[in-house]
Chain A
Amino acid sequence: MLITVVDQQGQAHQVETQDGTASNLMELIADANINIRAECAGGCVCATCHVYIEESALPLLPPPAEDEECTLDLAYHVRANSRLACQIPVTNLPAGINVVIAPDWQ
């Protein structure tokens, strides 16, 4: 099952969600050697794994917990479709969706 990840340079990558050992979207992106800062390694405290999820896929994902909302408060350029990649389990990723890494940090 493939998803598309757009990196901070705007380049799109096809990423297979089933092959690896990643448990969440942040690890999946990192394992595919796409640059994602993820400073707290999935601890939900740094917001440097901020991504935009394709709008139509949002209702298919578990909604953000209050912890995720509070950490998203530290991110810039937050939009209605902002999420923290480390909080999205790989098992919940709908096939074919588009994920864009937010431009908050370089």
Chain B
Amino acid sequence: MAITETDAVIIGAGPCGLFAVFELGMLNAQCHLIDILDKPGGQCAELYPDKPIYDIPAIPSLTGKELTDNLLEQTAPFNPVFHLNTRADALEAMDDGRWKLTTSTGDEFITRAVVIAAGGGSFNPRKLPLAEAGRYVDGKGLSYAVRDAQAFSGKRVVIAGGGDSAVDWAVALTGRAAHVTLVHRRSEFRAAPATLAKLQSLMEAGQIDVQVGTILALHGEDHLQSVELNTPAGAIQLPCDELLAFYGLVASLEEVSSFGLTMRNGRVAVDTSNFETSLPGVYAIGDITDYPGKLKLILSGFHEAALMAHHAIQRIHPQARNTFQHSTTAMQLRLGKEKTTC
């Protein structure tokens, strides 16, 4: 458990959280970012990395991944510290006016400015909508992510899903597990070409079974023992010690809703002159906010980040002069570029 004191903590490393690093960095504030995902970029990186975005001013078109990569490059001079695979859980006011933020890893951040850039909420694996599913989580046979591949050694593993995670793990666990069956609603999978080729060769060698079907029910007393599937040939029972279900992610607003902020239509209410929430020193920008006229656009979030930073800096460095500088001037110093002559 670590305790970190820093100028600003940003919850969410989506495009708006990333741009907040730039705006705060220009004003000499050091930022730590927390995101539950294993990579920065929020929706752009997770939901649509290969789809084009056409409405970023002055960039006619770029993909979600390109936008993320560009933002990372743009913020690199400010040395942001990323805490990935980490969920921001609780926010507590301290006696000296600062905030203490506690994460799922037990770490604590002490700061004068908290920036909530949580988008639609924290991304979590989509759970199986079966009444009995809850009985088998926490080591009883059903998982939504692989924490330790060792746990699957010698087990009969069923992997459900048709995307990258399902195919990658089916291939990776073959050999380690006693047996791997990949269950998917159709026979087409979406994954990297090299992994698909590997899957094909493992199937041909009889090392992985692919079963077309959907999960109907889970069975087993204290631990999962079999999975009941609906297949084109009718219902079947598949013996199973460990089921890995990969059905993408859903966003949850549970943590942000627990911070004690005034909400508006299920989102965080803000003062649009500075993007401060109902709690002094706690700001919100991007998709997580709601105010009259709010548009859930990346460009709106960028604008919100700029207004937020110029207010937050007065809390972070109350003695410093809050000068307005154009990036043309401010970044010259940062990047160590020579002054351009006219």
Answer whether A and B are interacting partners: yes
Within 8 A of B (CB), among A25-49: 39-41, 43, 45-48
Residues of A contacting B73 in the complex (Cβ-Cβ under 8 angstroms): none
Within 8 A of A (CB), among B188-209: 188, 190
Q: State the Cβ distance, A47 to closest chain B Cβ, in Å.
A: 7
Which of B48, B129, B186, B248 interacts with A47 by CB under 8 Å? B248
Q: State the Cβ distance, B51 to closest chain A Cβ, in Å.
A: 8
Answer whether residue A103 sits at the interface, using C-beta atoms and an 8 A cutoff.
Answer: yes
Answer whether residue B32 sits at the interface, using C-beta atoms and an 8 A cutoff.
Answer: no
What number of A-B contacts does a CB cutoff of 8 Å give?
A: 47
A73-B48 contact in complex given A39-B250, A39-B251, A104-B129, C-beta closer than 8 Å? no
| Interchain CB contact under 8 A, B47 and A76 | no
A73-B47 contact in complex given A39-B250, A103-B129, A104-B129, C-beta closer than 8 Å? no
Interface residues on B, range: 20 to 34
Q: State the Cβ distance, B97 to closest chain A Cβ, in Å.
A: 37
Among A70, A76, A77, A106: residue with most chain B CB under 10 A:
A76
Q: Which residue of A lies closest to B121 (CB)?
A: A39
| Interchain CB contact under 8 A, A78 and B185 | yes
Q: Which residue of B lies closest to A78 (CB)?
A: B185
Within 8 A of A (CB), among B150-198: 161-163, 184-186, 188, 190
A43-B190 contact in complex given A74-B248, A76-B128, A76-B129, C-beta closer than 8 Å? no
Bound Cα distance from A43 to B49, whole angstroms = 13
Within 8 A of B (CB), among A41-88: 41, 43, 45-48, 69-70, 72-78
A73-B185 contact in complex given A78-B214, A105-B129, C-beta closer than 8 Å? yes
Q: State the Cβ distance, A64 to closest chain B Cβ, in Å.
A: 11
Q: Which residue of B lies closest to A67 (CB)?
A: B51
Bound Cα distance from A63 to B48, whole angstroms = 22
A43-B47 contact in complex given A76-B214, A105-B129, C-beta closer than 8 Å? yes
A73-B129 contact in complex given A39-B250, A78-B185, A78-B214, C-beta closer than 8 Å? no
23 sample A-B contacts, Cβ–Cβ < 8 Å, listed by A number: A39-B250, A43-B47, A46-B47, A46-B250, A47-B248, A48-B250, A69-B186, A70-B162, A70-B163, A72-B185, A73-B163, A73-B184, A73-B190, A74-B126, A74-B248, A76-B128, A76-B215, A77-B129, A77-B214, A78-B185, A103-B129, A105-B129, A105-B250
Could you list which residues of chain A lie within 8 angstroms of chain B, going by C-beta atoms?
A: 39-41, 43, 45-48, 69-70, 72-78, 103-106
Could you list which residues of chain B lie within 8 angstroms of chain A, going by C-beta atoms?
A: 47-48, 120, 126, 128-129, 161-163, 184-186, 188, 190, 214-215, 247-248, 250-251, 296
